[in-house]
Amino acid sequence: MTTDVDVRTRGTKVVAFRRRAEGALRKAGGWIATVTDRPRSFARPVTEVVTPTAWTLAAMIPFLAWGATSLGWIELRVGTIFLTALLLVSIAFVFGKHQLVARFDLSRDRVVVGERANGRIVLTNESAHRSLPMSVELPVGAASAGFDLPSLPAQAEHEDLFAIPTSRRAVLTVGPVRTVRADPLGLLRREQQLTDEHLLYVHPKTVRIQGTAAGFVRDLEGQVIRKITDSDVAFHALRAYVPGDDRRYVHWKSTARTGMLMVRQFEETRRSHLAVGLSTRLDDYASSDEFELAVSVAGSLGVQAILDGQEMTAATSSNRLRIAGATSLLDNLSGVDFELGAQRLPDLARRIAREAQGASVVIFVCGSVVDPAEFRRARRQLPPDVRTVVVRTQNSVASSLSSMGDIDISTIGELEDLPPTMRRLQAG
Using only the alpha carbons of the chain, give its radius of gyration: 33
**Within 13 Å and on the Cβ side, how many CA atoms surround 271?**
10
What is each CA distance from 228 to 42, 53, 252, in whole angstroms? Answer: 72, 81, 21
pLDDT band at 74 (very low <50, low <70, confident <90, very high): confident
ω into 384 cis (within 30 of 0) = no
pLDDT band at 225 (very low <50, low <70, confident <90, very high): very low
Q: What are the beta bridge partners of residue 144?
A: 139
- Identify the CA nearest to 67 among candidates 56, 55, 57, 75: 75
Percent of the chain predicted with pLDDT > 70: 80
Residue 213: predicted pLDDT: 44
CA pair distance 369, 389, nearest whole angstrom: 17
pLDDT band at 34 (very low <50, low <70, confident <90, very high): low
Of 126-130, 241-245, 277-281, 366-370, the poorest mean pLDDT is in 241-245
Of 138-152, 201-215, 281-295, the poorest mean pLDDT is in 201-215
Mean pLDDT, residues 317-344 = 91
Question: Which one is predicted more confidently, 174 or 262?
Answer: 174
Residue 212 phi, psi dihedral angles, 5° rounding: -70, -30
Whether residue 287 has pLDDT greater than 60: yes
Beta strand 134-140 pairing with 116-125: unpaired
Q: What are the beta bridge partners of residue 194?
A: none
* CB contact burial 139-166 (16+ within 10 A = b; e otherwise): bbeeeeeebebeebeeeeebebebebeb
* Contact (Cβ atoms closer than 8 angstroms) between residue 175 and residue 193: no
Q: Amino acid identity, residue 220?
A: L
Mean pLDDT, residues 68-90 = 88
What is each CA distance from 380 to 344, 353, 368, 370, in whole angstroms? Answer: 14, 10, 21, 17
pLDDT band at 203 (very low <50, low <70, confident <90, very high): very high
What is each CA distance from 109 to 147, 165, 193, 328, 413, in whole angstroms? Answer: 21, 13, 21, 13, 30
* Contact (Cβ atoms closer than 8 angstroms) between residue 181 and residue 158: no
CA pair distance 277, 317, nearest whole angstrom: 8
Whether residue 132 has pLDDT greater than 90: no
- CA torsion sign for 105, 108, 111, 116 is negative
Mean pLDDT, residues 371-379 = 94
CA pair distance 235, 295, nearest whole angstrom: 43
Beta strand 189-193 pairing with 217-229: unpaired
Whether residue 341 has pLDDT greater than 70: yes
CA pair distance 267, 277, nearest whole angstrom: 32
CA pair distance 394, 415, nearest whole angstrom: 11
Residue 224: predicted pLDDT: 45
Residue 264: predicted pLDDT: 77
Determine the distance from the C-alpha atom of residue 184 to the mean position of all C-alpha atoms in its chain, rounded to a whole number: 41
> For the chain, how far is it from start to end, CA to CA, in angstroms?
46
| Digit-coded pLDDT (tens) for 2-24 | 444 344 444 455 555 656 666 66
Q: What value does the mean pLDDT of the chain take? A: 82
CA pair distance 339, 66, nearest whole angstrom: 53
Q: What are the beta bridge partners of residue 316?
A: 278
Phi-psi region of 211 (alpha: psi -120 to 50; beta: other; left: phi over 0): left
CA pair distance 197, 176, nearest whole angstrom: 5
- Identify the CA nearest to 311 among candidates 282, 277, 276: 276
Whether residue 220 has pLDDT greater than 50: no
| Digit-coded pLDDT (tens) for 86-103 | 988 888 887 777 788 999
